[in-house]
Chains A and B, each alone.
Chain A
Amino acid sequence: DSGVTQTPKHLITATGQRVTLRCSPRSGDLSVYWYQQSLDQGLQFLIQYYNGEERAKGNILERFSAQQFPDLHSELNLSSLELGDSALYFCASSKITGSHTEAFFGQGTRLTVV
């Protein structure tokens, strides 16, 4: 167990709908990353938050948004869902120590858009 908790584990929804994925980072980790992994694909960086503020943005669609709350948990909101949004969404958290950034991943949320 990495200490990073993601809910729900599975989500099935229809096109055009909106969903929220939740991530609780490891205790003490200030940084949260969101990644999208489509079938047999790599890890596509979406967005990163650090202590409540957006730190970096990757290939995140305008239909997607995220936030990190004062208790450091994070939510990824996906709206106007399309079939191509079906993927495994990972959250990772890290504790900034010195000069490196070791990240621990949650078990992922598998989103299926039908």
Chain B
Amino acid sequence: GENVEQHPSTLSVQEGDSAVIKCTYSDSASNYFPWYKQELGKRPQLIIDIRSNVGEKKDQRIAVTLNKTAKHFSLHITETQPEDSAVYFCAASTAGANNLFFGTGTRLTVIP
């Protein structure tokens, strides 16, 4: 089955700086890569996703990049704000299998 690894497990940045979280996956058939944000005590919520036919996708301060050859994808948050503090999970999914395999999560702390 798919194995998703995520790094780093914790990340602290100063407000206004950028944050980058990286994930690798093992199954070359995976073609959908969502990112979820989980605030303390709340449910994970989808913040951005990318499909394998696209190399990069942006949504305001958030961007995701995908390198299919290397089987890794990354989340980039620019101009970080305190409300960005949360746990971020990457995931990979294979069409047809209809499963979502999550990384272990990154706890991001934005220091005011």
**Which interface class (under 10, 10 to 19, 20 to 34, 35 or more) fits B?**
20 to 34
Cβ-defined contact, A106 with B43, below 8 A: yes
Cβ-defined contact, A99 with B46, below 8 A: no
Give chain B residues whose Cβ lies under 8 Å from the Cβ of A99. 31-32, 51, 95
In the assembled complex, the Cα of A102 lies from the Cα of B98 at a distance in Å of: 10
In the assembled complex, the Cα of A33 lies from the Cα of B99 at a distance in Å of: 8
Q: Does A11 contact B (CB under 8 A)?
A: no
In the assembled complex, the Cα of A99 lies from the Cα of B33 at a distance in Å of: 11
Nearest CB of A to B32, in Å = 4
Nearest CB of A to B24, in Å = 15
In the assembled complex, the Cα of A55 lies from the Cα of B104 at a distance in Å of: 22
Q: Does A65 contact B (CB under 8 A)?
A: no
In the assembled complex, the Cα of A103 lies from the Cα of B47 at a distance in Å of: 11
Cβ-defined contact, B49 with A102, below 8 A: yes
Give chain A residues whose Cβ lies under 8 Å from the Cβ of B31. 99-100
Which among A45, A90, A100, A108 has the highest number of chain B CB atoms within 10 Å?
A100
Nearest CB of A to B10, in Å = 10
Give chain A residues whose Cβ lies under 8 Å from the Cβ of B70. none
Please pick, from A33, A42, A56, A94, the residue contacting B89 in the complex, using a CB distance under 8 A.
A42
Q: Does B101 contact A (CB under 8 A)?
A: yes
Please pick, from B42, B44, B97, B102, the residue contacting A56 in the complex, using a CB distance under 8 A.
B97
Cβ-defined contact, A100 with B32, below 8 A: yes
Give chain A residues whose Cβ lies under 8 Å from the Cβ of B89. 42-43
A-side residues, CB < 8 A to B, are: 2, 31, 33, 35, 41-43, 45, 48, 50, 55-56, 90, 92, 94, 96, 98-108
B-side residues, CB < 8 A to A, are: 31-32, 34, 36, 42-46, 49, 51, 89, 93, 95, 97-105
